[in-house]
Amino acid sequence: MTDRSLIALKRRAERGKLFVVSAPSGSGKSTLVRMLLKVEPACALSISYTTRAPRSTEQEGVDYYFISRETFDQMISDGAFVEWAEVHGNRYGTSFHEIERLLEAGHDVLFDIDYQGARALKACYPEATLLLLLPPTMAELKRRLRKRGTDTAEVIERRWHAAWRELEHYGIFDFVVVNDNLQQALGELQSIYRAEQNLWWRRAYHVEMLLKEKPEAVEHD
């Protein structure tokens, strides 16, 4: 293998991971994402742009970048988004700049996006790992949506029905985790995140360096 090829393998091995967590609204995704960020310091959340109004507990530049629909449309025209979608009447998008900013800072990038965004991201970054988080039952999902107390009955019903459509796209994901027990789901999420570091192509540089140490007298089987 040439030196140039080895350098390319080394760069690929050192590049941060792209890890997507997607879920129907109410599955506990936001809670688990926050928990994963606390236990995996190399991981940083990709902050999405959105046209919806911030909730009382949300902060600009921490939870989302809150922008007008006009600004969002301009970013679409400029090709600024890796992916964007309209969900429940509001637009959400992930920018190329945000991903590269985090990768250049040495982070793994964690995405909290829906299945449409996950599919679009995978098209641009084939190495991304896609994980779908699910509730144990649809009845439990509706109970969690009601318990949040942040949406009207009409919005809850709309989110619950949208979840059925989202489930139909489970085949695009690499992994599926059922959030029946929060700590168990976190453990599974963390195990998948860590195992991704040992994919063969991330270890290819190390293997090639070992092969360079092979004595001339060693024969192949």
What string of DSSP letters covers 142-165? HHHHHHH--S-HHHHHHHHHHHHH
User: For residues 143 and 180, what is the distance between their CA atoms, to the nearest angstrom?
Assistant: 13
Q: Is residue 146 part of a domain?
A: yes
Using the structure block, give the residue that is written with the tokens 């050192």.
14
Give the chain's domain count: 1
Q: Is residue 100 part of a domain?
A: no
For residue 27, give the CATH number of its domain. 3.40.50.300
Min mean pLDDT across 12-16, 56-60, 112-116, 172-176 is at 12-16
Q: Is residue 101 part of a domain?
A: no
Residue 139: domain span: 3-46+107-211
Percent of the chain with pLDDT over 70: 98
Residue 4 Cα distances to 11, 42, 213, angstroms: 11, 28, 18
pLDDT at residue 176, as a whole number: 96
Q: Is residue 171 part of a domain?
A: yes
Instruction: Please say if the pLDDT value at position 219 is more than 70.
Output: no
Using the structure block, give the residue that is written with the tokens 């979840």.
163
pLDDT at residue 217, as a whole number: 65
Percent of the chain with pLDDT over 90: 55
- Strand 90-95 with 175-178, pairing: unpaired
DSSP of 69-123: HHHHHHHHHTT-EEEEEEETTEEEEEEHHHHHHHHHTT-EEEEE--HHHHHHHHH
For the stretch 28-58, pLDDT in tens is 898 999 999 999 999 999 999 999 999 888 8
Contact 81, 93 (CB under 8 A): yes
Q: Is residue 68 part of a domain?
A: no
For the stretch 59-96, pLDDT in tens is 898 889 999 999 999 999 999 999 998 887 899 999 99
